Amino acid sequence: MFSFMKMAAALILTSFITTGCVNVATSKVNPQANLAAIKTMYVQHYESDNSGVNEEIATQLQAKGVFVTTGAGAPPKDVDAVVFYVDKWRWDITMYMLELTVTIKDAKTNQFIATGDSVHTSLTRKSQKDMVTEVINNIYANQPLVTH
The fraction of the chain above a pLDDT of 70, given in percent, is: 81
Which residue has better confidence, 125 or 99?
99
* Distance in angstroms (rounded) separating the CA atoms of residues 138 and 114: 10
Residues 53-91 pLDDT 10s: 999 999 999 999 999 999 998 999 999 999 999 999 988
Model confidence pLDDT, tens digit, residues 105-130: 999 999 999 999 999 987 888 899 99
62 Cβ neighbours under 8 A, 6+ residues apart: 68
Return the CATH number of the domain spanning residue range 22-141: 3.30.160
Q: Report phi then psi at 111, rounded to 5.
A: -75, 140
pLDDT at 57: 98
More confident residue, 47 or 38: 38
DSSP 80-106: SEEEEEEEEEEEESEEEEEEEEEEEEE
- Looking at residue 26, its pLDDT comes to 85
pLDDT, one tens digit per residue, over 17-33 is 444 566 788 899 999 98
**What pLDDT, on the 0 to 100 scale, is given for residue 12?**
45
pLDDT of residue 92: 86
